[in-house]
């Protein structure tokens, strides 16, 4: 029994060539194995492809209209329902055949010269260097332009030659025939790797890459106000690209070292100053060395531990914009751990003058811990 090729495409028997083509194009998009991996869909794709092959050929279509099957054995249409003959044509090739003038997509040779990568190097800075800014000479190890071939990759006195395989196109094309016409696919040339040229005699210094690894010294001007993790960009100081391509950028990442006196919070600084008990009680003035200068620190009479005195504009400068942070001085009142002799007498005298109860008298009046337990048990 002859197959219903019109039914497979879903068109009427009087459908024109354009309608048949649109129907097949729609079904091919839905059923192609690249899109629909279902085995049933793959079989339907073969069936509708065979139907299109028959109905788009006037002679084969006439056989169908007369009740025959041109694809059946002895039917005059050849064998099998796969007009692509197992060539492995992709869905993209089918769409290109409809819309792209046969599927030809020429890319042309690619350049050997490519931009270089960026590089990152850490640099350790003290708090003072972060505050004032500094110029640092940094030793970096990057790819640099080959001094022999200057990026061409060729030995002295030689130059690249056109690839014999692709004739300079950088790609080779493969032509496949289908019921849709010629489908042309392209891939990079395996000999020149898509460059369209080959280097017959590579430079001995760089091996044909146009660049070499080398160590060099770079001057990095680090601005005032930087902090831990901040990156400073040095344009064009990174890796030279293949073929002598434009170098990338070098990023210098700041690693701020811990300071022995100051801690940092943004643009503000903090420090702790120990003040003797007597100085905190009577008040005093002392010199404090900041990052910028030496300042007078006024300790008011009766200052307690934990008091914070802020010195304006004695912190860190802003990295962007104007202004400077503050220095916050945390006061720690130091109480002597051992007092005896004349010092103890003077403190007792002070306690008496102030009417303060002395700890040892208080303990004697109330008794020790064992006395209180005894009195509790006795019901006193």
CA distance 191 to 198: 8
Q: For residue 299, give the nearest of 317, 315, 285 by alpha carbon.
A: 285
Distance separating alpha carbons of residues 129 and 103, to the nearest angstrom: 63
C-alpha to C-alpha distance for 226 and 212, rounded to whole angstroms: 33
Is residue 130 part of an annotated ligand binding site? no
Q: Is 206 annotated as a binding residue?
A: yes
Q: Is 271 annotated as a binding residue?
A: no
φ/ψ region of 236 (left if φ > 0, alpha if ψ in -120 to 50, else beta) reads: left
**DSSP states along 270-333:** EEEEEEEHHHHHH-EEEEEE-SS-EEEEEE-TTPPTT-EEEETT-SPBPSSSS-B--EEEEEEE
Question: Rounded to an integer, what distance in angstroms lies between the CA atom of residue 256 and that of residue 265?
Answer: 12
203 is annotated as contributing to ligand binding: yes
Q: Which residues pair with 176 in a beta bridge?
A: 183
CB 255 within 8 A of CB 124: yes
- DSSP 8-state symbol, 57: S
How far is 25 from 179, CA to CA, in rounded Å? 13
Which of 107, 103, 110 lies closest to 174, judged by CA?
103
| Strand blocks (E) in the chain | 119-125, 134-145, 161-162, 171-178, 181-188, 197-198, 211-222, 231-234, 250-256, 263-265, 268-276, 284-289, 294-299, 308-311, 327-334
Q: How far apart are CA 17 and CA 40, in angstroms?
A: 27
Tokens coding 334:
């130091």
What sign does the CA torsion over 332, 333, 338, 342 have?
positive
Q: What are the binding residues for Zn(2+)?
A: 146, 149, 163, 166, 189, 192, 203, 206
Q: What are the binding residues?
A: 146, 149, 163, 166, 189, 192, 203, 206
């Amino acid at each position: 029994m002859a197959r219903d090729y019109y039914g497979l495409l879903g068109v009427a028997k009087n459908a024109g060539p354009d309608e048949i083509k649109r129907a097949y194009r729609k079904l091919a998009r839905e059923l192609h194995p690249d899109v629909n991996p279902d085995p049933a869909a793959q079989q339907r794709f073969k069936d509708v492809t065979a139907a299109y092959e028959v109905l788009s050929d006037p002679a084969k279509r006439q056989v169908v209209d007369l009740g025959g099957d041109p694809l059946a054995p002895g039917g005059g249409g050849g064998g099998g329902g796969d007009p692509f003959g197992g060539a492995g044509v992709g869905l993209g090739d089918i769409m290109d055949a409809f819309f792209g003038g046969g599927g030809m997509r020429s890319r042309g040779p690619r350049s050997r010269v490519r931009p270089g990568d960026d590089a990152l190097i850490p640099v350790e800075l003290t708090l003072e260097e972060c505050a004032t800014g500094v110029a640092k000479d940094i030793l970096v190890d990057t790819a640099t332009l080959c001094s022999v071939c200057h990026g061409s990759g060729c030995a002295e006195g030689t130059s690249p030659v056109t690839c014999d395989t692709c004739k300079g196109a950088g790609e080779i094309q493969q032509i496949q025939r289908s019921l849709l016409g010629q489908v042309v696919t392209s891939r990079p040339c395996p000999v020149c790797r898509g460059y369209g040229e080959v280097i017959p005699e590579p430079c001995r210094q760089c091996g044909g890459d146009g660049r070499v690894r080398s160590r060099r010294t770079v001057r990095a001007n680090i601005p005032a106000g930087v902090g831990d993790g901040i990156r400073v960009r040095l344009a064009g100081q990174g890796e030279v690209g293949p073929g002598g391509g434009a170098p990338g950028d070098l990023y210098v990442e700041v690693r701020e070292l811990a300071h022995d006196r100051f801690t940092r919070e943004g643009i503000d600084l903090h420090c702790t100053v120990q003040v003797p008990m007597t100085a905190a009680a009577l008040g005093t003035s002392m010199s404090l060395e900041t990052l910028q200068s030496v300042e007078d620190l006024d300790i008011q009479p009766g200052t307690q531990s934990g008091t914070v005195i802020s010195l304006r504009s004695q912190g860190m400068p802003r990295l962007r914009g104007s202004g400077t942070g503050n220095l916050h001085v945390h006061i720690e009142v130091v109480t002597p751990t051992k007092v005896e002799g004349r010092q103890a007498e003077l403190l007792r005298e002070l306690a008496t003058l102030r009417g303060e109860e002395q700890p040892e008298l208080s303990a004697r009046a109330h008794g020790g811990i064992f006395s209180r337990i005894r009195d509790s048990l006795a019901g006193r």
